[in-house]
Every structure is written in C-alpha cells, then in structure tokens.
Amino acid sequence: MKILVINGPNLNMLGIREPEIYGSFTLEDIEKELISYAAELDSNISLEFFRSNFEGEIIDKIQSALNCFDGIIINPAAYTHTSVAISDAVAAVGIKTVEVHLSNIYSREEFRHNSYIAPKCLGQVAGFSKTGYKMALLGLYEALK
C-alpha cells in the first residue's frame, strides 16, 4: 500500500513557527514518527513525503500520484482555505485522501473555518497536533486494506 504524504506552505518552519500553536517539533519529527507507525501497522505500507510552498507543485504532485499511490495524506496548510485548484486536483485523481491539520482550525480565526479540500476527502483530522498524521494513516489504511 503506497501512501503519499503532502505538506504545504510554511510547514518546513515547524519548530520555529508559532510554537504555541504548532508545537516545538519539526516536520522531520512528524515524518520519522509516521514511518515508525506505518511499520507497526503493516509492513506493506510504504510512505513517500513531499513538501512545497508552491500551489502548482502540490497540484503536479497530486496529478503524478495517479496510478502510483493508493492514498494521500495532505496538510495543505494555508491553501486549505484558498485553493479551489488543489481541491479540483484531489477530485480529478480520485485517490482516497485525508486532510490533516495540526491545529483545530475551527477554534481559530473565521477564515480558517472553511476548507476547499475536505469535501473531496475521505475525512479530515484537525486539532490533534502531530498525532493527527497517524490518525489519518490509520483511517486510510482501514479504508484501503
């Protein structure tokens, strides 16, 4: 089972960026934890990680997942609230996708309450910090196996 994990803009700044909201761990910490968790879950899970600040690159990566990946975990970061194009890409490839947010976007500013991407996803996990990525993987795994 091949899972693509996509992280959007500013998530490379985890560890430095607003630690009171996002915690003091890094994106690398999240990726390492997810690799260990995947191995615990099922040795047939393989993960690929991609991160970009650029909307078009994220869209290219989603398109390139067609016929290559069984599932996608995506934290689109700020593009969650703005990107019809990423939403369309998720719908276009038809790959089961789970949206993740470290913070609870519904308890934050009003502009973060809407996601263009979640309606095209299997589900959304928000507010559980880095554990949310593991929750997303478990949900995808159960849906795909």
Q: Is 103 in the site for ligand DQA (CB under 6 A)?
A: yes
Size of the site for ligand DQA (CB under 6 A): 10
81 is catalytic: no
- Out of 22, 79, 116, 133, pick the active-site residue: 22
- Closest distance between ligand DQA and the C-beta of residue 42, in Å? 26
Q: Could you say which of 1, 35, 41, 78 contacts ligand DQA (CB under 6 A)?
A: 78
Site string for ligand DQA, 19-48 (x = CB under 6 A): ------------------------------
Nearest CA among 70, 113, 116, 111 for reference residue 89: 116
Q: Does residue number 77 form part of the binding site for ligand DQA (CB under 6 A)? A: yes
Task: Write the CB contacts of 99 (distance below 8 Å, at least 6 apart in sequence).
Answer: 74, 75, 76, 80, 115, 117, 118, 121, 123, 124, 125, 136
Return the beta strands (E) in 1-145 as ranges: 2-7, 46-51, 71-75, 96-101, 123-126
If the CB atoms of residues 63 and 114 are measured against ligand DQA, the closer one turns out to be 114
**Residue 101 designated active-site:** yes
Burial class of residue 98, CB neighbours in 10 A (0-12, 13-18, 19+): buried
Q: Which is nearer to ligand DQA, 78 or 138 (CB)?
A: 78
What does the binding site for ligand DQA look like in residue numbers (CB under 6 A)? 10, 75, 77-78, 80, 101-103, 105, 112
